[in-house]
Structure 1
């Protein structure tokens, strides 16, 4: 018999950010629901509850503003696309290829033919006539130009943070079989490389206390056979014009998914409890889960330990001052800083809060390929592992 799935619940913070993304992001209900891994009915209900709190006049003004914002975004996107096409065309023609139709053919996988012809000053009908007249076999030079376009599209779509291993994995997922060495060479020639981080870390761990300390049950064995078997927890920071925004996060060791998170302008135990409660509400872990964190006062506090005990979760702690005892969490925060935080200057904590929500719930959990789970996304890894678990239990 298949295992019956437990109904999930969500914190108020998650609901607020989900509705904000729906209302302010210019995306449809089903698209946002898919991005966040929730039901459309659920998201629609949250939106209704949120809108009921505002007046009709304020709602009309917001919709008008959104419509104008979307119009401007479409115009900016159109101009950006044309600039990108012109940049590619300049590089293309420098290589000695002189026909506009050849350029349109090389880039039609990345842009609409009509747009390419308009920017290049070519005729759409003339292009298709030219296409019918040439041999069907693609030359190696044309194939490489097309591959460069595919690499550039993936690199841009994934926030310009992918190196050659992940770009190669994305190409394979799309059915394009090229050697990793070839992808690495082309990215080097195109000047595309993964972002590198900057190191500036304020102190978030205070282990100078007399509270109970748990044993280190993992001993740097960062493996798990199934979801919700081992969770790792830690705290980091995001600089803003108003001061630091602190982020507590919980990572599932099997899937690499961030299962719980919480943000605040302080480092009190409530910050970490919020992340833990979110993770428990979303995944309802079975008894025996191991929770591993540092010796910070937040994780050693009585309220935090009480939540763990109430849900039959076993606590584990790193050795004092040894960040490698929780290396996978350090890796997540490094990726967050390198791929997003260090590329933007946030004026307010609310700006940072919205951006971190989008990075975790949309990009990290549902788009970013993770080498630790076979270059899949955490959402794909969880779905696959839970499917295996359900079949084995039948």
Structure 2
């Protein structure tokens, strides 16, 4: 008889790190408090409280009146630059495409950005764009239908930040009430020169050549679970910036594939993995007897991490020597992160790449990205469905 799924415990009051609060406030400044609160699963009052406390810690300095005109000019200039950056982030992939592809991009985003700015950024003439739009308007019904399909597919593609191919886009469009088969979506992507971000190999990070004690492999490549907080996997990876490496540690619940704990640092020490595990424990209400799996890295074998495991009555598990498949789920997450959010981008500072990591985990991966292991829905949607 199949054992029924373990019901999720009522979520306790979560503990948020200072870094998490800072990133949440930066997100609120960009998209608004209400939107940021909704996307992060917070109450608007929490963000307002964090903002008030942050403002109280800042020292307010007076600005000379003579700088007022200069500030106004700089603000206008920065607004133009911000619009160019936003256009570049969405339209960078069409810079080397045919003019028709660029015209289609401008048509898709003409309500969000000024046509003049988009034409300048994409190096096309406004007269050429308007001539193309006139030709499309006067085209045959079949061509108009094709143009409409291309627009919807392109909007879905850019909404997912170029991270989804035809299989996932079909599901996204279906949720929006647009029924298009996979072959039609794939043909539209080819026609527009749109391609999901490609895979790339990445090497391991942790140091496993040490003399510290190693835990047995309790997980043994059994990634199936009947409920939350039964099996967690952990790992560390590195992300490159002009300032140097930023190390990222994560904890994943295999039940929903959700990132329940994560931490970043400029140094790959034991406190990095401890901070990620403490976040996971706090977020999940401090469950016990959870199989907590990792590789044999020195950070996970350290006395600090092992004391944390024992204090919270977790079951420590480690991969077999030299076997990356034992921790495949964590490796898969880092692969997705680097391919979809890091590869092809240049980050001048660790703060910049940390902000990208924050948005990818908290906004994209946990709440929007479809995962094949849980029925092509997001981890948050999967957990909400199981709770209901």
Alignment of 1:1-394 (within 5 A): 4-23=10-29, 26-57=30-61, 71-72=79-80, 75-76=83-84, 91=100, 112=111, 139-201=141-203, 203-211=205-213, 213-387=214-388
Q: Which residue of 1 aligns with 2:120?
A: none
TM (norm. structure 2) is 0.80
Deviations 1:142-199 (A, max 9, x none): 3332111111111112111211111112111112112112222222232222212333
The answer to whether the 8 Å contact 1:228/1:285 transfers is: no
TM (norm. structure 1) is 0.79
User: Secondary structure of 1:340's partner?
Assistant: helix
Quick one: distance in 2 between partners of 1:109 and 1:260?
A: 37
The answer to whether the 8 Å contact 1:19/1:50 transfers is: no
Deviations 1:241-279 (A, max 9, x none): 222111111112122211111111111100100111111
The answer to whether the 8 Å contact 2:12/2:283 transfers is: no
Residue 107 of structure 1: CA displacement?
Answer: 9.7
The answer to whether the 8 Å contact 2:232/2:252 transfers is: yes
Return closer, same or farther for 1:329/1:86 CA change in 2, 3 Å cut-off. closer
What stretches of structure 1 of length at least 5 have no aligned partner? 95-102, 132-137, 388-394
Higher mean C-alpha deviation, range 268-277 or range 106-115: 106-115
What stretches of structure 2 of length at least 5 have no aligned partner? 1-7, 116-125
Quick one: distance in 1 between partners of 2:172 and 2:223?
A: 26
Deviations 1:214-248 (A, max 9, x none): 22122212122323222110000001122211111
Residue 295 of structure 1: CA displacement?
Answer: 1.1
The answer to whether the 8 Å contact 1:197/1:337 transfers is: no
Residue 112 of structure 1: CA displacement?
Answer: 4.4
The answer to whether the 8 Å contact 2:9/2:285 transfers is: no
The answer to whether the 8 Å contact 2:200/2:339 transfers is: yes
Q: Which residue of 2 aligns with 1:98?
A: none
Quick one: distance in 2 between partners of 1:288 and 1:69?
A: 56
Quick one: distance in 2 between partners of 1:184 and 1:292?
A: 38
Residue 346 of structure 1: CA displacement?
Answer: 1.6
Residue 285 of structure 1: CA displacement?
Answer: 4.3
Quick one: distance in 2 between partners of 1:381 and 1:110?
A: 32
Return closer, same or farther for 1:379/1:8 CA change in 2, 3 Å cut-off. same
Quick one: distance in 2 between partners of 1:305 and 1:139?
A: 67
The answer to whether the 8 Å contact 1:228/1:283 transfers is: yes
The answer to whether the 8 Å contact 1:263/1:271 transfers is: yes
Deviations 1:345-381 (A, max 9, x none): 2222222222211221122112222222222222212
Return closer, same or farther for 1:68/1:292 CA change in 2, 3 Å cut-off. farther
Deviations 1:45-102 (A, max 9, x none): 11111111112338999xx79965773366437977999999999639x9xxxxxxxx
The answer to whether the 8 Å contact 2:97/2:193 transfers is: no
